[in-house]
Structure 1
Amino acid sequence: MPIPAPNLNPPFNIVRLSHVELKVTDLAWSRAYYVDTLGLQVTHEDASTIYLRAMEERGHHCMILRQSAEASVGVLGFKVWSEDDLDRAAHWFTARSLPFAWSERPFMGRVLATRDPWGVPLEFYARMDRLPPIHQQYRLYRGVKPLRIDHFNLFSSNVDRAVEFYGDMGFRVTEYTADEETGRTWAAWMHRKGGVHDIAFTNGTGPRLHHTAFWVPTPLNIIDLLDLMSTTGYLANIERGPGRHGISNAFFLYIRDKDGHRTEIYCSDYQTCDPDLEPIRWDLKDPQRQTLWGAPAPRSWFELGSVFDGATLADSDLKATPIIAP
């Protein structure tokens, strides 16, 4: 299917992705991993929950770690422009017979909770508590020195339909992978904030969260993290990389926590804010779309992901096969 034309006048104005809630089975282990090793900053914690932000972020949190009996993803969060956009979003989801509810989330005020057609739990808000800037408090920088949350990537059982739905909300495609044999889209990268993506969809059993990505200053920060993880007991948590993607041109590393939640450490993509920017098309059989240089992705990278609370999994009927490391 062809990529739909971008919706440059969406029904409500999404500014960017904002935050993710991860359910974890060992909160103390997760704190040591995300805070002490990766370098995210704690903004609030209690016996069951830890709120985190990255170094450039002024909002209260970009990640919530919540103690749970089973690992899962509680919600993906997005910031909208205004309170009026929240009301317009409620009307838009209602018109599509999708569930929604208003709630008051800690540190966020009024929040619209809903789901996409595949059951992915989403929430939208206009105002989050603001914290003092810390980007020049260099004594706080540690680990990989994460600057900000960058994107989500989801497994989708039908990428073409996901692109259509999120495109209607105003997400614009920057790059995509086409399966030339069927004419269908195997993966697509979509943005609101002017980078390569705020959200991406990859063909597979879904919906599941493939990864959450954090932007870091330079490739050297990734090398430093690899040295740190390999000598502090986290060698087995390194899944893929370092390397450079063809799609997005990003320098990357993929790591997985104790519960299997995957994080991409990411830098060096490009600006995409022009409204008439044409999407870049890649052939699924092109080995450099996935890895411009570096080892091919392992099988786990294509098969393992985090389930969403309340979502029912469905297998994809697109059986095209990407390049997998032996």
Structure 2
Amino acid sequence: MPIRKPNFTPPFNIVRASHIEFDVRDIAKSRAFYVDCLGYLVTDEDKDSLYLRAVEERNHHSIVLRKANDASIPALGFKVASEEDLDRAAFWFAHKGFPTSFPDVPHQGRTLRTCDMFGMPLDFYFRMEQPECMLRKYAEYKGARIQRIDHINCFTPDVQASYDFYTDLGFRLTEYTETDGENGQLWAVWMHRKGNVHDLAFTNGRGPRLHHIGVWTASSLDILHICDVMASSGFLDNMERGPGRHGISNAFFLYIRDPDGHRVELFTSDYLTVDPDHEPLRWSLQDPQRQTLWGHPAPKSWFEEGSVFTGVPVREPVLEAQPIVAR
């Protein structure tokens, strides 16, 4: 299993994970979950779409909910450092044989739409509309008091291939899970652009599928508070796992499912990874503190269920390996 050196001169400069689009079956039910319960701010809406942001976010949206017949993921969004980086990205993907287009995306500037080698849909943009800053308007801090989007975690049928692809794009490895033995194989990777544990992570499984988006709260007390809110507002059954603390990333977490089954991780207290000589941490797949430093082990659903990408076929994983699963 080759772990590669970081690529400090990628073909274009990705700043961070930026946003996600969810296709949902019922906008009203999704609004009750994301806005009334979790506390997301509504930046804009129409009868079929809802644009949401968290209290720290200056960009127009980090979550887009769109009415659809089936629940799926049309796009994962990443911010790049300049308009020129968009052109460099378009050239790189086209040169590699990937489809490229520049669709008209509401509230976003020029947006490149493409995909990776497994078909995972990727949107890259530089500029988005910026509404009023809400960071100091503490009366608007409701629900989980979510600050910002942090990361995107996906199932991939081939962790090594996904790791290699995104390493080429400048994502840097922070932690990884590997099978034991002389010829250990990657089972999961955590990779970053912005200088904390991850902007993008990949886990072995049927894919490509979205496992979850991770959203940042200022403290573990915000996560404990949303447990009380969900338990007393009709969303108790939407709590899937936690609260607890990961060994990987050191994060305090809670995993929840929206009305369509899309998974969201409430997440805080990871660590800084900006040093260029930062050494990735290895975890054995059989280490029980890898996924759960303390708290109940992950349920079977956490390893098997995910959201499909719109129109993208799902493949079986190339690696057969069993993690520790709650009984």
TM-score of the pair, normalised by structure 1: 0.99
Tell me which residue corresponds to 1:286: 287
**What displacement does 1:188 show?**
0.2
User: Structure 1 stretch 79-88 or stretch 179-188: which is displaced more?
Assistant: 179-188
Unaligned runs of 5+ in 1: none
Residue 36 of structure 2 corresponds to 36
1:207-246 alignment to 2 at 5 Å? Answer: 207-246=208-247
Q: CA offset at residue 118 of structure 1?
A: 0.3
Matched to 2:70, the amino acid is E
Q: Does 1:124 align with 2:98?
A: no
Q: Structure 1 residue 53 and structure 2 residue 39: aligned?
A: no
* Aligned amino acid, residue 50 of structure 1: L
Aligned to 2:196: 195
What is the aligned partner in structure 2 of residue 97 from structure 1?
97
Render the CA deviation track for 1:152-198: whole Å, top value 9, x for unaligned.
00001100000000110000000000111451100000000001000
Q: Is the 8 Å Cα contact of residues 173 and 190 (structure 1) preserved in structure 2?
A: yes
Structure-2 separation of matches of 1:109 and 1:225: 34
Shift in Å, 1:319: 1.3
Q: Runs of 5+ in structure 2 lacking a partner?
A: none
Does the 8 Å contact 1:119/1:310 carry over to 2?
A: no
Aligned-partner residue type, residue 137 of structure 1? K
Distance 1:222 1:125 in 2: 31
* Count of matched residue pairs: 326
Specify the code of the residue in structure 1 equivalent to 2:59: G
Q: Corresponding residue for 1:300?
A: 301
**TM-score, scaled relative to structure 2:** 0.99
For 1:174, the aligned partner's letter is: T
Deviations 1:181-236 (CA, angstroms, capped at 9, x unpaired): 45110000000000100000000000000001110011111111001111111111
Q: Which SS does the other structure have where 1:87 is aligned? A: helix
Contact 1:155 1:209 in 2 (8 A): yes
1:35, distance to aligned residue in structure 2 (A): 0.5
- 2: CA distance between counterparts of 1:232 and 1:132? 29
Distance of 2:218 and 2:168 partners within structure 1: 33
Q: CA deviation at 1:104?
A: 2.2
Query: Is residue 273 of structure 1 aligned with residue 274 of structure 2?
Result: yes
Q: Are the counterparts in 2 of residues 171 and 192 from structure 1 also a CA contact under 8 Å?
A: yes
Structure 1 residue 19 and structure 2 residue 19: aligned? Answer: yes
Residue 110 of structure 2: SS of its match in structure 1?
strand
1:26-175 equivalences in 2 (<5 Å)? 26-175=26-175
State the Cα distance separating 1:312 from its structure 2 match.
1.0
CA distance, structure 1, for counterparts of residue 203 and residue 45 of structure 2 = 33
**What do the CA deviations read for 1:228-270 (whole angstroms, capped 9, x no partner)?**
1111111110000000000000000000011110000000000
- C-alpha deviations, 1:16-39, integer Å up to 9, x for none? 010000000010000010011001
**Could you tell me how far apart the structure 2 residues matched to 1:131 and 1:3 are?**
41
Decide whether the 8 Å contact of 1:45 with 1:51 is kept in 2.
Answer: yes
Q: Secondary structure in 2 aligned to 1:122?
A: strand
* Runs (4+) off by over 4 Å: none
**Residue 249 of structure 2 is aligned to residue 252 of structure 1:** no
* Counterpart residue type for residue 94 of structure 1: A
Residues 91-135 of structure 1 deviation map (CA, whole Å, 9 limit, x = unaligned) = 110111011101221111210000100001100001101112101
Distance 1:52 1:310 in 2: 24
- SS of the residue 1:66 aligns to: strand
CA–CA distance in structure 1, aligned partners of residues 232 and 133 of structure 2: 32
2:258 and 2:83 map into 1 onto residues whose CA distance is: 36
Distance 1:226 1:310 in 2: 34
* 2:319 aligned counterpart, secondary structure: coil
The separation in 2 between residues aligned to 1:32 and 1:223, in whole angstroms, is 20
The AA in structure 2 aligned to 1:235 is: L
